[in-house]
Amino acid sequence: MAGAGSEFHVWLCSRLKSLNLDEEVLGEYISGILDGDDSTPEEKEEALKETLEGMMESPDNNVSSDIFMKWKECEEKKAKLKQESENQKQDILAAVVEKQMKTTNNVNKKPSHKLDENVKKNLIAQYGQEYDEDFYSSSDEEAPSQTTKSQPVEKDKGVFQNTNTKSVLDKEKEKRDKQRQENEDKKVKDKEDREKQKTKAEQRKDKEKKRTQKGERRR
């Protein structure tokens, strides 16, 4: 859900306030509708329209359209920034993986060769996911045996390089798993919050309606 300090939420609260609507309660409720994962864009736009029609004395479709378009604009901007960050992360990972592989090849005195693109893609795909232990174990088995006295030391260095790469990938996987669980917990909490905000909005609407009716009876 959009945070209280997000660009869209700040804009939304300002827009609702200009319409003399409760920006605190209604702002959270509208953000919950638009940021929910269980509806299509068309369903979200329709729900937004119905919500505003029920809260405004003189419903205006332009208001719901403006809000929905602003939300889409902010979402597209966030998606673009996220993709740029992901691309940068993948470029860094590719460079790290290639460097690790070259270092391991040099330590084991393997002939110099270009890193296989499929292997590189597989490693990159594993970033933050399952770590393929078979790949590293098979790489060690295929390394040619050395007869020099420095072989034990060089082999240990190669193992260290593989272990270091595994450690990096394992930590990233743990981080991703934690984020995934936090996202699931957040979805549940957001759904509960939306229901609470909806109830509050309806209660305030009923209260305002009763107050208006009471004033009319006095007149």
Q: Which residue reads 């959009």 in tokens?
A: 2
pLDDT of residue 10: 92
Q: Nearest CA to 61 among 71, 46, 73, 75?
A: 46
pLDDT of residue 14: 93
Read off the pTM: 0.47
Segment 176-216, tens digit of pLDDT: 788 888 878 887 887 787 778 778 887 877 777 777 777 66
* pLDDT tens, residue order, the chain (219 aa): 455 558 899 999 999 999 989 888 899 999 999 988 778 999 999 999 999 988 888 878 899 999 999 999 999 999 999 898 888 888 888 888 887 777 776 665 544 455 556 556 666 665 544 444 444 444 444 444 444 444 454 555 555 555 665 676 677 678 778 888 887 888 788 778 777 877 888 787 777 777 777 766 666
Cα–Cα dist 187/193, whole Å: 10
| Contact (CB, 8 A) for 110 and 144 | yes
Cα–Cα dist 197/192, whole Å: 9
pLDDT of residue 163: 65
pLDDT of residue 182: 86
Q: Which residue reads 């590189």 in tokens?
A: 120
Cα–Cα dist 157/154, whole Å: 5
pLDDT of residue 55: 85
Domain boundaries, the chain: 7-105
For residue 6, give both structure tokens.
């997000």
